[in-house]
Amino acid sequence: MTTIDSPDRAPARVAADPATRGRFITLEGGEGAGKSTLLALVRERLAARGIDVVLTREPGGTPLGEAVRALVLDPAQRGIRAESELLLVFAARAQHVRELIEPALAAGRWVVSDRYTDASYAYQGGGRGQPIERIAALEAWVAPIRPDLSLLLDLPVAQGLARAGARGATDRIEAEDAAFFERVRAVYRERAAAEPGRFRIIDASQPLAAVCAAAATQLDAFLDLAGVAA
């Protein structure tokens, strides 16, 4: 298992050989869904099968991406326009895809990302009302690589906000109202329903042990399908 903090720069797009490329797994969901908590489990599960895993997150995953993350989540940045926010998350993503995700997959590593493009459809599309076509155009331009598996941790908004709130200080996006997060959740669920082959929905309102067990079952099924020896 390798966690890349400062990856080498990739000057050009890296073409991955489908026969040897790693797999790309994303974790998605609303506030307090348990993605960060689950990341450790996913790493253990994959490492137990001898898979070389790169854990990453969005916004973030590269020095530029982490700087953009700090800006996007900074409560002091009250005036960020919806268009600016969309471009910022995609600027971070462009760097992330070129610098980390594509080279890692091409090298045969598996990449597990805490959020990816579905988050932009949910937050900037659902939450902020940015047009879907605009998000799709940015995705096609800088993030054409699609996840092989996306685990959607779904739970009622009030429950997620209560969990996130119990941690203390809220970031700029967490400070949005419940209606914003209801729209985010609705888009996530719509996307999962539209792509059942890629998404697995996990009931994240359950106790943590049950959420982890459900995720482990889904991961094992995916690994079996991918032909990874147990």
Q: What are phi and psi of 16, to 5 degrees?
A: -95, 130
Identity of the residue, 22 or 59, whose beta carbon is nearer to ligand Z5A in the bound complex: 59
CB atoms inside a 10 Å sphere around CB 122: 25
Stretch that binds ligand Z5A, among 16-24, 28-36, 104-112, 213-221 (CB under 6 A): 28-36
CA angle 52, 57, 63 (to 5 degrees): 100
Q: Please state the closest distance from residue 58 (CB atom) to ligand Z5A, in A.
A: 4
* Per-residue DSSP letter, 37: H
Report the distance separating Cα 8 and Cα 168, nearest Å: 36
Quick one: which of 207, 227, 229, 230 contacts ligand Z5A (CB under 6 A)? 207
Buried b (16+ CB within 10 A) or exposed e, 35-50: beebbebbbebbeebe
- 74 touches 44 (CB < 8 A): no
Long-range contacts of 134-143 (CB under 8 A, 24+ apart): 134/86, 135/86, 138/86, 138/87, 138/90, 139/90, 142/90, 142/93, 142/94, 142/97, 143/90, 143/93, 143/94, 143/97, 143/116, 143/117
Quick one: which of 2, 9, 20, 36 contacts ligand Z5A (CB under 6 A)? 36
- 154 touches 181 (CB < 8 A): no
Identity of the residue, 107 or 142, whose beta carbon is nearer to ligand Z5A in the bound complex: 142
Stretch that binds ligand Z5A, among 2-10, 14-22, 117-125, 219-227 (CB under 6 A): 117-125
Identity of the residue, 51 or 113, whose beta carbon is nearer to ligand Z5A in the bound complex: 113
58 binding ligand Z5A? (CB under 6 A)? yes
List the x/- string, 125-154, binding to ligand Z5A by CB under 6 A: ------------------------------
Identity of the residue, 31 or 148, whose beta carbon is nearer to ligand Z5A in the bound complex: 31
Quick one: which of 9, 13, 146, 167 contacts ligand Z5A (CB under 6 A)? 167
Q: Please state the closest distance from residue 227 (CB atom) to ligand Z5A, in A.
A: 30
Identity of the residue, 39 or 228, whose beta carbon is nearer to ligand Z5A in the bound complex: 39
163 binding ligand Z5A? (CB under 6 A)? yes
Q: How many residues bind ligand Z5A (CB under 6 A)?
A: 27
Identity of the residue, 22 or 65, whose beta carbon is nearer to ligand Z5A in the bound complex: 65
Report the distance separating Cα 25 and Cα 219, nearest Å: 10
- 115 touches 35 (CB < 8 A): yes
Q: Tell me the sheet residues that pair with 112.
A: 25, 55
Give the residues lining the site for ligand Z5A (CB under 6 A). Answer: 29, 31-37, 58-59, 89, 114-115, 119-120, 123-124, 163-164, 167, 171, 173-174, 204, 207-208, 211
